[in-house]
Amino acid sequence: MPIVGWMFYFNDAIFLERNWQQDEQTIKEKLERLKRSKMPYKLLIAPEGTRFTAEKYKISQEFIAKHGLDVKLKHHLCPRVKGFAATLRQMNAKNDPHFSMYNIELVSQVDEKYAEPTIENFFKGKSFRGDFFVGKIANSEVPEPDADDLAYADFLYRTFEKKDALVELHQQYHKFPGTVVKQQSN
């Protein structure tokens, strides 16, 4: 949808090509611009991408097998490490007292009453229902800025395995663990 793309553009979203030779420079330039800004900013990183499909999951599992990665995921795609590591290194995330990282997970309810949460369904006025989990990740868990990519990979893979476990719990108990904040019903 064109409106969403323009919204991201004017909010200084960092668009990547999934080509490290191009993306490395893009990440560096955009983060330097954000760091120079006098405005506070939030950075949402989706290292596994934003669209989960059966086909993408199959490709992700093939990538894991081909590279012999030690990560087991049923509900997420294999996250990409290079851009994530470059971003945290450049932000000096571990040592910045203003830095915070959160694990955000969404499980949507799709049935005869509630539609799949897509932009198209949003503009069609369809109803959505979902449960969010938000959990803070301690800065002490984040690798040091000078850590190698293996340390960042291990951190990212373990984080995504925890995300996968949350989805499993939600499927079993129909809610996430922790404090529940009720939504207003329509």
Q: State whether residue 102 is helix, strand or coil.
A: strand
Task: Give the pLDDT of the chain (186 residues) as one tens digit per residue.
Answer: 467 777 877 777 888 887 888 999 999 998 888 888 887 778 888 888 777 899 999 999 999 999 999 999 999 999 999 999 999 998 877 778 888 899 999 999 899 999 998 889 999 999 999 898 999 999 889 999 999 999 999 999 999 999 999 999 999 999 999 877 776 555
Q: Report the alpha-carbon distance of residue 26 to residue 30 in Å, rounded.
A: 6
Closest CA to 81 of 73, 91, 89, 93: 89
| pLDDT score for 11 | 76
Chain length of the chain: 186
Query: Residue-wise over 149-161: b if at least 16 C-beta within 10 A, else e?
Result: eeebbebbbebbb
Structure tokens at 168: 């499993």
Which residues on neighbouring strands pair with residue 108, listed in sequence order?
130
Q: Which residues pair with 167 in a beta bridge?
A: none
Round to whole Å and give the CA distance between 100 and 43. 10
